[in-house]
């Protein structure tokens, strides 16, 4: 679903498509002129950096004019035309592939700076933008990828996420914030949208009314965050009505803009405002801001037009095949289609919805895969959305479609059973392209997937692995069952790539728990550690037991970590030089950290 009528950020009134297209074209032309001024030495670096980041264009560690373009995809919804545009961008301007992120964006790397305006024009032609995907702005508005098809949802958050994205895109109040600002939506307490670690997290809930009926609305959480210092989001109030949702989000943004730390970017996120001011004082200021927002020219109160037009009724109560650990999934001995069906298909019993996951290894999609997905989506007239585990979900399917879907996904190398199970390792881009990363997290992710496959553990349900190449948690390592973040190790007088292993992270049921430190490991020993932990979990858990429940019963992260200390050994570099070379590298390991511009 895309917004059929562009929304003016000042008046919230519809504007003509022609006017909107003209304004976007003029914006891209101005950016192209800025590039030429910068390259000619007529525009200061710091000024151009802000212009570039606000267009969603991020410098890579390779330096020079290599750029990454991050495309905003609200709630992850993609059309066939957009898939084809991505394929064209990948082939013409990048390196033949795109990368799905944990915030439902798609990124293209190694784009030449002078060619970025051409990419922006391609995106505009299919109703997309990279505007404000980076920088101190409101980032892509993320949401549950099963919204509108989830059997447990209270409301379909799809139009609400789109309305929020429309409200803040190019909005003057959201251009120069103290720091980046992230908003996520979930349609029920299961919180597949991961609302609990964002600046604003919105979860659909119901409150009972005196007449015995219930009113659907929202519980709004604020000031969550990951990074080197993770903070859980906290509730603003018990219940926020549908009419008050957008004013509430805008009031939170304005409060952050007024009082956020503009002197120290390391302590500028919303979480630090609460740390310094106290949650009660922040709540009071937000409620006051909302009260008087009605007098503002930007007041966004009431039910947004897109919600009134498209509706937000829930999919209907039912049951679903779960891949998140609530039920142990056993796939051994089944034929390939049945294995895929059990692990990758979600059904809403009451409303008969059928959705199926496509597994994109490490979030990568080649141009051929992108075009194949466009063809499949057109043929089936289904929806597709990017998930926050860097996969895709096909929605609106019929039972009879599933054999064809499986056959086509296998042909595209996207049909592995166990998408979003153990084999589904999530990784940030790492030292491939990021200035802040100290390790090749993607290389480790690939090696863990290989090791689990060889050990026969890749389809174990209820355990998820996330990797970040540094402490900043772009790979969301804090929230996964098994998490890693990269660090430099020293042994035998030499630098070596290493990781800190965390265990027991979780998010759901309007709660969040961050993983606890288990042990440090050489990069080349991390895969064996995962195999041991996943193997023990698969062998020892009781029926329906979660990874967290098993971990607690087994003594916690430190107890499990103590069984892995034999792996924390760096052998003599002459005998095992591979321990001193990172994944996908050929020379000795060197920890090189550049100037960070923005993190995912």
β-partners of residue 222 are: 200, 234
Q: What is the pLDDT of residue 210?
A: 94
Exposure b/e, 448-469, CB count within 10 A at least 16 = b = bbebbeebebbbbbbbbbbbbb
Q: What is the pLDDT of residue 459?
A: 86
Distance CA 151, CA 295 (A): 39
Report yes or no: 87 and 79 within 8 Å, Cβ to Cβ: no
What's 239's DSSP letter?
A: -
Strand intervals (E) in 9-50: none
**Would you say residue 567 lies in a domain?**
yes
Please tell me whether residues 371 and 482 are part of one structural domain.
no
The residue behind tokens 């929304």 is: 7
Please tell me whether residues 398 and 472 are part of one structural domain.
no
Report yes or no: 226 and 201 within 8 Å, Cβ to Cβ: no
Q: What is the pLDDT of residue 499?
A: 98
Report yes or no: 177 and 193 within 8 Å, Cβ to Cβ: no
CATH of the domain at 90: 3.90.480.20
Task: Kindly report the number of other CB atoms within 10 A of residue 476's CB atom.
Answer: 25
pTM of the entire predicted model: 0.92
Q: What is the pLDDT of residue 597?
A: 65
Q: How many residues does the chain have?
A: 600
212 by Cβ neighbours in 10 Å (0-12 / 13-18 / 19+) ranks as exposed
Tally of domains in the chain: 4
**Would you say residue 327 lies in a domain?**
no
Helix, coil or strand: residue 95: coil
The residue behind tokens 């509108």 is: 148
Please tell me whether residues 300 and 159 are part of one structural domain.
yes
Tokens of 77: 């919804």
**Would you say residue 271 lies in a domain?**
yes
Query: Which mean pLDDT values do the consecutive 10-residue runs of the chain (600 residues) have?
Result: 36 57 94 97 95 95 88 98 98 97 96 97 96 97 94 94 97 95 96 94 97 96 95 97 97 97 94 97 98 90 94 70 42 79 83 89 97 98 96 96 98 90 88 89 96 93 94 94 97 96 94 96 98 97 94 97 98 95 89 61
Question: Where a domain ends, among 275, 310, 345?
Answer: 310
Please tell me whether residues 306 and 157 are part of one structural domain.
yes
Please tell me whether residues 397 and 369 are part of one structural domain.
yes
Instruction: Give the CA diameter of the chain.
Output: 78
User: Which residues, at least 6 apart from 541, have a Cβ–Cβ distance to it below 8 Å?
Assistant: 328, 462, 547, 549, 550
Tokens of 70: 């991050």
pLDDT digits (tens, 9 = 90+) for 346-402: 887 656 789 999 999 999 999 999 999 999 999 999 999 999 999 999 999 999 999
**Would you say residue 306 lies in a domain?**
yes
Question: Where a domain ends, among 349, 378, 411?
Answer: 411
**Would you say residue 248 lies in a domain?**
yes
**The pairing of beta strand 426-427 with beta strand 465-468:** parallel
Q: What is the pLDDT of residue 434?
A: 87
Please tell me whether residues 236 and 259 are part of one structural domain.
yes
**Would you say residue 589 lies in a domain?**
no
Q: What is the pLDDT of residue 50?
A: 94
Q: Residue 354: phi, psi to the nearest 5?
A: -130, 125
Task: Name the strands in the sheet holding 345-348, side by side, starting at the edge strand that comes first in the sequence.
Answer: 77-78, 383-386, 392-395, 353-358, 345-348
Q: What is the pLDDT of residue 598?
A: 53
CATH of the domain at 467: 3.30.413.10
Please tell me whether residues 521 and 549 are part of one structural domain.
yes
Query: In which domain, by residue range, is 204 found?
Result: 152-310
Residue 363 gets the label, from left (phi > 0), alpha (psi -120 to 50) or beta, of left
Please tell me whether residues 51 and 85 are part of one structural domain.
yes
Please tell me whether residues 300 and 345 are part of one structural domain.
no
Q: What is the pLDDT of residue 4?
A: 36
Please tell me whether residues 166 and 249 are part of one structural domain.
yes
**Quick one: which of 141, 177, 226, 181 has its CA closest to 50?**
177
**Would you say residue 348 lies in a domain?**
yes
Please tell me whether residues 156 and 296 are part of one structural domain.
yes
Please tell me whether residues 388 and 432 are part of one structural domain.
no
**Would you say residue 474 lies in a domain?**
yes
């Amino acid at each position: 679903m895309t917004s059929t009528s562009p929304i003016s950020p000042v008046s919230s009134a519809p504007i003509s498509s022609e006017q909107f297209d003209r304004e976007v074209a003029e914006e891209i032309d101005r950016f192209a002129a800025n590039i030429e001024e910068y390259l000619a030495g007529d525009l200061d670096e710091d000024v151009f950096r802000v212009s570039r980041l606000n267009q969603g264009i991020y410098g890579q560690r390779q330096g020079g004019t290599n750029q990454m373009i991050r495309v905003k995809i609200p709630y992850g919804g993609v059309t066939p035309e957009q898939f084809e545009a991505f394929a064209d961008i990948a082939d013409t301007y990048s390196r033949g592939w795109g990368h799905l992120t944990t915030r439902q964006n798609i990124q293209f790397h190694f784009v030449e700076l002078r060619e970025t305006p051409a990419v922006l024009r391609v995106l505009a032609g299919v109703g997309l933008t990279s505007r404000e995907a980076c920088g101190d702005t409101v980032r892509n508005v993320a949401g549950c990828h099963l919204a509108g098809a989830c059997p447990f949802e209270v409301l379909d958050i799809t139009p609400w996420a789109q309305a929020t994205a429309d409200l803040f895109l190019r909005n003057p109040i959201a251009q120069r914030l103290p720091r980046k600002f992230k908003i996520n939506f979930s349609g029920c307490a299961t919180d597949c949208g991961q609302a609990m670690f964002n600046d604003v997290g919105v979860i659909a809930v119901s409150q009972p009314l005196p007449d015995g009926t219930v009113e659907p609305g929202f519980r709004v959480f604020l000031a969550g965050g990951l990074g080197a210092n993770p903070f859980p989001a906290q509730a603003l109030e018990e219940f926020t009505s549908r009419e008050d949702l957008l004013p509430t989000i805008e009031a939170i943004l304005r409060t952050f803009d007024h009082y956020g730390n503009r002197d120290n970017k390391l302590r500028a996120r919303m979480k630090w405002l609460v740390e310094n001011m106290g949650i009660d004082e922040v709540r009071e200021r937000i409620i006051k801001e909302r009260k008087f927002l009605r007098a503002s020219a930007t007041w966004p109160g009431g039910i947004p037009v897109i919600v009134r037009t498209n509706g937000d009724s829930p999919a209907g109560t039912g049951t679903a095949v779960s891949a998140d650990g609530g039920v142990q999934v056993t796939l051994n001995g089944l034929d390939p289609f049945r294995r895929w069906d059990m692990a990758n298909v979600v059904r809403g019993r009451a409303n008969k919805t059928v959705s199926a996951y496509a597994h994109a290894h490490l979030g990568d999609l080649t141009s051929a895969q992108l075009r194949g997905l466009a063809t499949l989506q057109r043929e089936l007239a289904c929806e597709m959305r990017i998930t926050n585990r860097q996969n895709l979900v096909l929605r609106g399917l019929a039972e009879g479609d599933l054999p064809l879907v499986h056959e086509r996904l296998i042909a595209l190398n996207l049909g592995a059973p166990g998408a979003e199970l153990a084999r589904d390792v999530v990784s940030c881009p790492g030292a491939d392209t990021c200035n802040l990363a100290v390790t090749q997290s993607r290389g480790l992710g690939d090696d863990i997937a290989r090791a689990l496959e060889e050990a026969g553990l890749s389809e174990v349900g209820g355990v998820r692995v996330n990797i970040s190449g540094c402490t900043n948690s772009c790979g969301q390592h804090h929230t996964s069952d098994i998490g890693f973040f990269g660090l430099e190790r020293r042994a035998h007088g030499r630098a070596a790539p290493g990781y800190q292993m965390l265990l027991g992270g979780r998010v759901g049921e309007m709660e969040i728990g961050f993983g606890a430190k288990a042990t440090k490991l050489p990069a080349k020993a991390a895969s064996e550690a995962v195999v041991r932990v996943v193997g023990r979990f698969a062998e020892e858990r009781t029926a329906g037991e979660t990874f967290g429940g098993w971990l607690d019963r087994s003594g916690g992260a430190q107890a499990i970590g103590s069984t892995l200390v034999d792996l924390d050994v760096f052998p003599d570099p002459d005998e095992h030089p591979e321990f001193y070379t990172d994944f996908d590298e050929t020379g000795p390991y060197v920890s090189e950290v550049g100037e960070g511009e923005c993190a995912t």
